[in-house]
Structure 1
């Protein structure tokens, strides 16, 4: 049989050997002869046989292997293995799941690879799936398949090609549905590779003990033993007080002071009806300084500033509730309006020395109860013991022993005095603080559940404290003329508490340098005065505790305690401030505290905080991972199937090429070469000029075909074709 085929091929070659050299039409039609594709002339197709260099003229078997085919095989294998990259990318994402990103060079490389996924994946997908569809179609064609199936598979070289072929076929088949599903994996796989690996914040929670400035009785006594009675003076206190007043408005109205200490909001302005079942108020946005109890906050030790934190603080602050102002036109008549307690005699020289306002109180202070005291001294001693929680039942019969202390303030204004009386109390609160790294603020606040001391008494019950406080606060600024920065703050918290103008002092200038506090609403004035009192009082207790860089050795701040019981931690076990008078326990307390190392800034209360370290980690999205693995596996196995079927298929590769239209084409007169693949055939026929036109141009009805030769008639609108 093979010999017969070889002889037939050789005979055909001999018969056409004479006119293989070129393509040329026969000029003009031949009259009296019937049209024939080998000898009919003008406007009917005719061409000489074409001789092609290197054209196979001898019969040969199909699919001969050579080094070129082996090279193509290597390329096909490499292409089929390309989806493994995405499978490995998925595995890498799994290994990086919940691993920290910091210092992870492998993670950075994987992240870079995922960014390339949406670009690379569709290219790899189209290259493998498109080629595999052609290989599978060839195999099915060799075995016998429906033309529609082959057409759909050959058209599935892209997403749109797959959709378009369904529309043009005007039918939806099982093969078409599967092809649509297959090509939908191309964009999905690209997106899956992009969204496969993400980063997220991973909070790590730890508990830590924190120490903070106690505002309980022990804190006041620390100030008594250092500033008020210890002889260390108020120079540092005045400097910090001035810095607080002159801080920018954003600091004075912000949740932290200038040194980063968290400020305690004032409980009084909050609406009592808005607390929850446990008494918690949500702190609203505070836009003015009087929304806080003080211009300075509570220093906290032990909290890492590079982490978030949540903790609670117990605090106590002074609250002032003032009566309406009394305007005294002449300061010389001041003694007619109130009886001074600390200023005697009441003269301009004593009350307004180096200042434009004075502070006074209606009751004396005490250093403790001991025998031989007058009734007024006994009353003052009872008030002092009540501040520490030691309540004397007999004191209830004495109104002066239980009433609020009155604070009297007189402010100069152009020779007149604005006089106001304020009742002082102490508010005990518990605050919840949230910190984002170094930025902290109180989020919720309520009345203290642990400090049940009477609220009518403050640290000003001690003689040395009230004396030092009333004398030093008005003289914190050595003024020349005009109102002090303290008064200017009380007049307007939003302006810089100072004034500078040109010209010699005269009545007109003095009217500018002084502020008239009677113009301030009394409720607003009460809140501002509370801020001033607490700011100066807190600074006088521990002035070295506010400027930062505090020792981080928590044991330096004394034993763990709450503010309400801070005194008891420095007393013997059988002695407490509640069952012993101040006069008896003070020496014990002072001796114990005096043993603290030098440089300890304050007595510390204790709280437990939740420290949150935020770490950026890699997070594998397992939904997208599953999609990527599925799509990559489909590509791999489809490509592998196409490769295997290509090796099994014997038919030449003739689907999807223009050259395929030259096989057994009667209008292209070339030697037969059916064993050649389409691309190999195209390489040999690269210089052959062809045209789609009318190969029956001389007939009434034309015929459209691909052919060679100059006499192929061009296609015309309106002409009929078959």
Structure 2
């Protein structure tokens, strides 16, 4: 029977074991044997010597990274070796340029792998050294394994020391090296200037009186261009040539400097007049000057010498009380006394092939004058122009056989000029296969002859030949009074010279400057083509070995004058070349060498480090650490711990140096309870 005993302090009565056991079994779960936690067996002591296979494998990886880093420096030196070479397809330089496009992707990844590993290797090596490492330096290294943390770590720890500056400088090489690998080599367009001897024609060359010119070929004689056909072709293309720098054969036209001098300002003492403005340029002739031996690549710049006949007509007037052209055969032309004074030019060359529409006369030079060209310059030759314009029909519709007569008296002089010209690459080697642009023009500072000497003075009867061509450009219109002569129409209606009609009498339809220029353009065109028609119409032969000599003597007027000239041009060619930027090359080489040295240093430090690789890992907390004397707040962040104890020295070493078997742990050096790890010693 159960006994019940009351305790003095009101405790429950004692229940015997049998009763408690029976009661406990009522409604209780079945009993299971208690499971005890298994304990891991204690690892056997081991040395810190790593297997050679593992060491070699890691060293090989480090050496490969070092070699890759060094390759970027080799790449930069290779780029320097091809600096200035042509960027031809398939060339080494072009291949390197293509390689540089991928370098900015590879370099920062490679640099980060090397620098990050080096930071950890430095920390691991320093913490096992006999002097240990401060907490601040360890955090600087371990916290700088990426480029962003390299900056933030120094700021957060507020450790602005040499180590921090070195780490920041090291990581700055990553973006710099990346950009350097891209910018060290590129393809640029380079200009080169070479001298080149060019051939042209002296427009002061003697006139040849030839209507039809032929030449021998392998199959016989062929007819070449004649003076009238070339001039008529140019008249038909007057509208096309209005603002063109070249004629229809590609010859370079000489600007008429007289009008430019009236409207432009010359460049100081040099006298150059700029032609690059928007104002249209007027030219002295419908036909230009051929230039040969132009470069087939690049632009050829040169100064083109030239000369042309200039007209100065102080009077262009109506002839009163005259309805037909004068008969100069029976009554030679005479100058107006009120304009010419006592000048006795009474011998004339007359061109009457275009009567009854127009005629012209040029005064002859008095070669018997003993003082000519010796004590005085020759007087300017005179030109007289006379043209008719038919009067309208009368009130009954009958044609009136009367005309309005215009009269002009002009001085003939020569203007010598120099023109700066640039021609682009010529497909044919001469100006006919190129596009040429004049940049500036000036009067020749040293003209070869006085301006009153003209090409008419070079050979006998040149005046008659020129006037004959001028008045017989259209022989079928000779003696016609109905169909207007194109040469006459050109003075008042230049864009419809052929097939058009003149717009009125010359004296009141055309202003003086236009009359002077238009008539001079026709005369100069005749004079130019008269030098040698094939030369000015696309068949320039520059192979004459005697070209470039000046033999003209105004007294003897020798016929062996050579009209070919040599001039010097500058050929500016642009071509793609490989360019190596030396500044970026220096950055790339420095970045490559630093990465290479970091990889080698990391490999060496890794070989010298005996302690296990636990820095930067949470596994370091599982060691038997003996870090004492560092009292702080458990609420501090890692940066605050480091800032407060950045000078505390730690060592990852043997915390049981006196024992037979050592034990590795992290400890402070203040109490001297940690020893340096040793190779060959066993550690638990």
Q: TM-score, normalised by structure 2?
A: 0.68
Counterpart in the other structure of 2:661: none
Measured in 2, the distance between the counterparts of 1:440 and 1:49 equals 100
- The structure with the greater share of residues assigned to helix is 1
SS where residue 255 of structure 1 aligns? Answer: coil
Preserved CA contact (<8 Å) 2:349 2:464 = no
Q: Deviations over 1:349-399 (max 9, x none)?
A: 9614xxxx5341253xxxxxxxxxxxxxxxx3426x9xxxxx741699999
Counterpart in the other structure of 2:294: 303
SS where residue 318 of structure 1 aligns? Answer: strand
Counterpart in the other structure of 1:404: 381
Measured in 2, the distance between the counterparts of 1:628 and 1:184 equals 12
Q: Check if 1:255 corresponds to 2:239.
A: no
Counterpart in the other structure of 1:138: 124
Counterpart in the other structure of 1:71: 57
Determine which of 625, 638, 642 is the counterpart of 2:598: 638
SS where residue 597 of structure 2 aligns? Answer: helix
Measured in 2, the distance between the counterparts of 1:489 and 1:50 equals 121
Shift of 1:614: 4.9
Counterpart in the other structure of 2:466: 469
Counterpart in the other structure of 2:432: none
Structure 1 vs Structure 2 CA RMSD: 4.5
- How many residue pairs match? The answer is 547
Determine which of 443, 452, 455 is the counterpart of 2:452: 455
Q: Check if 1:224 corresponds to 2:201.
A: no
Distance 1:414 1:201, change over 3 A: farther
Preserved CA contact (<8 Å) 2:266 2:274 = no
Q: Check if 1:118 corresponds to 2:104.
A: yes
Determine which of 526, 540, 552 is the counterpart of 2:516: 526
Counterpart in the other structure of 2:82: 96
Preserved CA contact (<8 Å) 1:325 1:418 = no
Q: Deviations over 1:514-536 (max 9, x none)?
A: 46653443223323333333223
Preserved CA contact (<8 Å) 1:407 1:423 = no
Measured in 1, the distance between the counterparts of 2:605 and 2:373 equals 107
Counterpart in the other structure of 1:15: none
Preserved CA contact (<8 Å) 2:324 2:388 = no
Shift of 1:274: 4.4
SS where residue 257 of structure 1 aligns? Answer: coil
Counterpart in the other structure of 2:613: 653
Unaligned runs of 5+ in 1: 1-47, 364-379, 386-390, 501-509, 568-576, 594-601, 666-671, 675-700, 706-722
Counterpart in the other structure of 1:317: 308
Q: Check if 1:162 corresponds to 2:150.
A: yes
Measured in 1, the distance between the counterparts of 2:166 and 2:375 equals 97
Counterpart in the other structure of 2:33: none
Preserved CA contact (<8 Å) 1:228 1:464 = no
Q: TM-score, normalised by structure 1?
A: 0.64
Shift of 1:632: 0.9
Measured in 2, the distance between the counterparts of 1:237 and 1:208 equals 32
Measured in 2, the distance between the counterparts of 1:200 and 1:147 equals 53
Preserved CA contact (<8 Å) 1:396 1:402 = no
SS where residue 118 of structure 2 aligns? Answer: helix
Measured in 2, the distance between the counterparts of 1:119 and 1:220 equals 72
Determine which of 213, 224, 227 is the counterpart of 2:201: 213
Q: Check if 1:236 corresponds to 2:226.
A: yes
Shift of 1:408: 0.8
Measured in 2, the distance between the counterparts of 1:436 and 1:531 equals 26
Determine which of 179, 182, 185 is the counterpart of 2:173: 185
- The structure with the greater share of residues assigned to strand is 2
Preserved CA contact (<8 Å) 1:205 1:610 = yes
Measured in 2, the distance between the counterparts of 1:413 and 1:119 equals 86
Distance 1:296 1:345, change over 3 A: closer
Preserved CA contact (<8 Å) 1:482 1:514 = no
Counterpart in the other structure of 1:382: 366
